[in-house]
């Protein structure tokens, strides 16, 4: 994370990382998504959400410490950050799985989703990495946010939360397939109604500081014998990483 990236992340609450996914990874992930949709009871549904994606294919486990985002995560979460939870959304048209309401924000304070800077060091309680698996154009919909809202001293106005009627303060964040959007969950954000001609496919990896957990069902390293030592460390259960702790697989 260079000086410019650090400034933009602190200013906006998010960064976009072009070409975060290699063409090979992107192709394999989309193949796995195709297979997952085909196995659904109703594959023609407009919206699908898949959890526990690390179990589906090794390519998803490779993203745990993807080099293109790993250094940024270290900068905003600390060197001993952990993976808290993952999921995959597929939207063909209309609203996403949780609708089109903006959520997040610095007020009220939430111990798992905070954002602060002290002594030149960023601290965040939960950071999301959203990988675009398909192109997202300016008029397609998808991810949107209110830049800078992660540092606001006031609650976001309720009358502005509905993205079906987008307020001028909301910014669309787009990018071609392979782009990663990395943002603090303290940022006011949400999903615009999808209007694209192709599906919106997005993989979410959400990370926390070592001793913090948002999810009650976080992945465990012991479930995946093919992990590297670095990946196993990122999948440690929440703890203070004190020197005498046990790091045995669970």
Does a structural domain hold residue 230? no
Does a structural domain hold residue 237? no
Q: Which residues make Cβ contacts (< 8 Å) with residue 234, sequence separation at least 6?
A: 64, 65, 81, 82, 83, 207
Helices (H) and strands (E) in the chain, counts: 5, 11
Does a structural domain hold residue 227? no
Q: Which domain holds residue 157?
A: 3-212
Does a structural domain hold residue 10? yes
CA-based diameter of the chain, in Å? Answer: 54
Does a structural domain hold residue 30? yes
**Phi then psi for 195, rounded to 5 degrees?**
-125, 5
Tens digits of residue pLDDT in 146-168:
999 999 999 999 999 999 889 99
Domain count, the chain: 1
> Does 16 have pLDDT greater than 90?
yes
Tens digits of residue pLDDT in 201-241:
999 999 999 999 999 999 999 899 999 999 999 999 999 98
Tens digits of residue pLDDT in 92-150:
987 877 778 999 999 999 999 999 999 999 999 999 999 999 999 999 999 999 999 99
* H/E run at residue 116: strand 115-118
pTM, two decimal places: 0.94
Q: What's the confidence (pLDDT) of residue 246?
A: 67
If we measure between CA atoms, which residue out of 191, 171, 35, 177 comes closest to residue 128? 191
Does a structural domain hold residue 49? yes
Does a structural domain hold residue 37? yes
Higher pLDDT: 23 or 43? It is 23
**Phi then psi for 203, rounded to 5 degrees?**
-100, 130
Q: Contact, 219 vs 238, CB < 8 A?
A: no
Does a structural domain hold residue 127? yes
Separation of CA 240 from chain center:
23
Which one-letter DSSP state was computed for residue 125?
S
* In the chain, beta strands by DSSP E: 14-17, 47-51, 82-91, 115-118, 121-124, 127-132, 142-145, 171-172, 180-184, 189-192, 200-208
Question: Where residue 147 sits, what CATH number does that domain have?
Answer: 2.60.120.620
């Amino acid at each position: 994370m260079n000086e410019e990236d650090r400034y933009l992340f602190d200013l906006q609450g998010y960064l976009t990382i072009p070409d975060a996914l290699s063409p090979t990874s992107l192709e394999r992930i989309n193949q796995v998504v195709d297979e997952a949709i085909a196995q659904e009871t109703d594959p023609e549904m407009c919206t699908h959400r898949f959890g526990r994606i690390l179990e589906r294919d090794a390519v998803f486990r490779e993203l745990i410490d993807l080099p293109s985002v790993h250094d940024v995560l270290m900068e905003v979460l600390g060197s001993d950050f952990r993976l808290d939870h993952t999921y995959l959304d597929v939207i063909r048209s209309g609203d996403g799985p949780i609708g089109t309401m903006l959520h997040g924000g610095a007020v009220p304070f939430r111990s798992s989703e905070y954002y602060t800077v002290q002594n030149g060091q960023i601290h965040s309680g939960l950071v999301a990495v959203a990988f675009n698996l398909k192109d997202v154009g300016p008029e397609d919909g998808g991810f949107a946010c209110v830049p800078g809202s992660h540092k606001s001293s006031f609650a976001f106005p309720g009358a502005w939360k509905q993205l079906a009627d987008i307020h001028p303060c909301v910014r669309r964040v787009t990018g071609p397939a392979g782009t990663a959007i990395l943002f603090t969950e303290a940022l006011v954000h949400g999903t615009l109604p999808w209007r694209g001609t192709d599906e919106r496919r997005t993989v979410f990896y959400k990370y926390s500081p070592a001793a913090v957990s948002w999810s009650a069902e976080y992945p465990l390293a012991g479930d995946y014998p093919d992990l590297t030592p670095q990946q196993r460390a990122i999948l440690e259960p929440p703890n203070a990483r004190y020197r005498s702790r046990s790091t045995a697989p669970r």
